[in-house]
Chain A
Amino acid sequence: MTVQVYQTRGAEYHELWLCGHCADAIGVDASNAEPAPTAGELLSGLVHRPLRSCPECGTTFRQIRRTGMVGCAECYRAFRARIIPLIRSATGRVSHTGRLPERLESFKRIFVDREHYRQELDEAIETEDYERAALLRDKINQISGTDGENG
């Protein structure tokens, strides 16, 4: 028996293939794994399977891994979970923090950055780091204020 283990934490993604013996050894209970799909489910397309090729351009993940190149923008979405470890192995980081086209900058500031700061604020309050919490609250208010001015 082979057990496939996925672990996702934030932007991090890990994938492990273990034999039954090793899975037992590290405490992975294979009996809790999703049951194998039935033939009917497979035929009806109800079960999510990793994509073999990009639905847009047909590039396979194997080609991407071999060449380091995608075939189109959709490849990044279709193989996201498997591309992240490749980018990390090449660059050590995976989350974009640079500039974006103007049309997306305000969207990012309001919907992504504000949410990110809110999560950090919760963490800061939980760890009783009130100085940091105050700074984060100011940042959130600043974004909300800008949002209001724009809105």
Chain B
Amino acid sequence: MKTGELSGLASHIPWLTTEHGGSRIVLSSRVRLSRNLAGYPFRPTPEADAYSAALAMVSAKVRRVLREREITPRVLKSGGMEGTLRRFLSDRGFAGSRAPQEILFDEQEHVAFLIGGTDHLRITATRPGHLLTRAYEDARRWDSALEGSLPFAVAMDFGYLATRIAEAGTAMRASLLLHLPALSEYDQVATLSETAPRAGVRLVGVGNPHAALFLVQNEQSIGMDEKTILSKLEESTDSLISYEREARADWLSSGDQSLVHRVEHALASLRRTDPKDEDEAMRLINDVRVGVLCGLAKGVSLETLNVLFFLAQESHIYVECNGETEGENDIKMARGSLLAKVLK
């Protein structure tokens, strides 16, 4: 895959809009269903024919159901993909530890079909804001549309047979992307991450740690039905939202003038075109977002800042520049210019 194939993708992230349920704490909701075909190897084998046949069948059926719904998918082939591009797809939530061979998704990136990564097929549905049930309904609708023509591997006791045995059962990974700057400021996230498994969920940092972005996701995929998994996740998310709100209220009521200065400094720095490394950029975007949430920064939308968390990452800058960057300094300069342009 070449950088040019990603053109247009790097400059906007439709599932981070604040319309339709966009929230001040929950940036997006995502549900992923892993599926494999019965009678075919789940992973490449020395005799790759059967594995390739499985992927070809999945690809053909996915294209057909998209065509039936008059959706012309954007298609990315990840063959020969280099490190930064692989990271771009991973940062975007399109790839896990094993990059898929092919990705098909709709214009709004509400649904993505990842073919040939860890599993034969991963259906990923994403919605902006706190819309987990909607994301699940989307994923389930596509799953139902495909199950009639694809022999998904299933057993009564193990449920859907995922490649990773810990993901068998519903083979569902549901997650919400949260911005938790106040809990991060008060060093509370580590404690919450340790206690989260008791509620059957996992809280993990995502992307650059200075962005204070976290994923809360289900820990178990077997032994509970989909609705119970989603409801436990919603319950934990509600608790996290309430902890974050309390921490923000404390932060603001402390009358700490340094917060006001931090926000002013961050906005001014971001509007200057000087080169910035990723850590610095994420810290500044985080500070400005806190400022907007606390009413300390005007004239910047939450949507813009949500998107900048992604666009200021090295992988996105690289793609935005069509791969025409030569080294770290070029990336820093491009990042500084991009941030200044967007926040002008």
Contact = CB atoms under 8 A, between A and B. Distances in A.
Contact of A76 (B152, B161, B220): B161
Given A76-B168, A92-B223, A98 B159 contact: yes
B207 interface: no
A127 interface: no
Given A96-B222, A101-B154, A69 B147 contact: no
B142 to A, nearest CB: 13
Contact of A73 (B39, B45, B164): B39
A1 interface: no
A93 B155 CA distance: 15
A93 B199 CA distance: 14
Interface stretch (A39-47, A83-91, A132-140): A83-91
A70 B158 CA distance: 13
A68 B157 contact: no
A98 B39 contact: no
A98 B224 contact: yes
B223 A91 contact: yes
A95 B223 contact: yes
Interface in B141-178: 144, 147-148, 152-159, 161, 163-166, 168-170, 172
Given A57-B45, A76-B168, A104-B154, A97 B163 contact: no
A3 B220 CA distance: 34
A3 B93 CA distance: 49
A11 interface: yes
B97 to A, nearest CB: 11
A96 B165 contact: no
Contacts of B161: 70, 73, 76
A87 to B, nearest CB: 6
A96 B169 contact: yes
Contacts of A100: 154, 156, 159
B226 interface: yes
A69 to B, nearest CB: 5
A68 B148 CA distance: 29
A95 B222 contact: yes
B222 A94 contact: yes
Contacts of B158: 76, 83, 87, 96
Interface string A43-79: 0000000000000110000001000111111001100
A77 B158 CA distance: 10
A108 interface: yes
Given A57-B45, A69-B43, A64 B165 contact: yes
A56 B40 CA distance: 9
A56 B45 CA distance: 12
Given A87-B222, A93-B223, A99 B170 contact: yes
A72 B40 contact: yes
B29 interface: no
B165 A90 contact: yes
A128 interface: no
Given A93-B223, A97-B225, A76 B155 contact: yes
A112 interface: yes
Interface string B174-195: 0000000000000000000000
Contact of A68 (B43, B156, B165): B165
Nearest to A93: B223
A70 B154 contact: no
B220 A93 contact: yes
A102 interface: yes
Contacts of B170: 96, 98-99
Given A70-B161, A73-B161, A76-B168, A99 B225 contact: yes
22 contacts: A57-B42, A68-B166, A69-B163, A71-B42, A72-B41, A72-B42, A73-B153, A77-B155, A86-B165, A87-B166, A87-B222, A90-B165, A92-B223, A94-B157, A95-B222, A96-B156, A96-B158, A96-B168, A98-B224, A101-B154, A104-B156, A108-B156
Interface of A: 11, 56-57, 64, 68-73, 76-77, 83, 86-87, 90-104, 108, 112
Q: Closest 6 CB pairs between A and B?
A: A93-B223, A96-B159, A73-B153, A98-B170, A90-B166, A98-B225
Given A57-B41, A98-B159, A98-B169, 5 more contacts: A69-B118, A73-B42, A73-B153, A77-B155, A93-B223
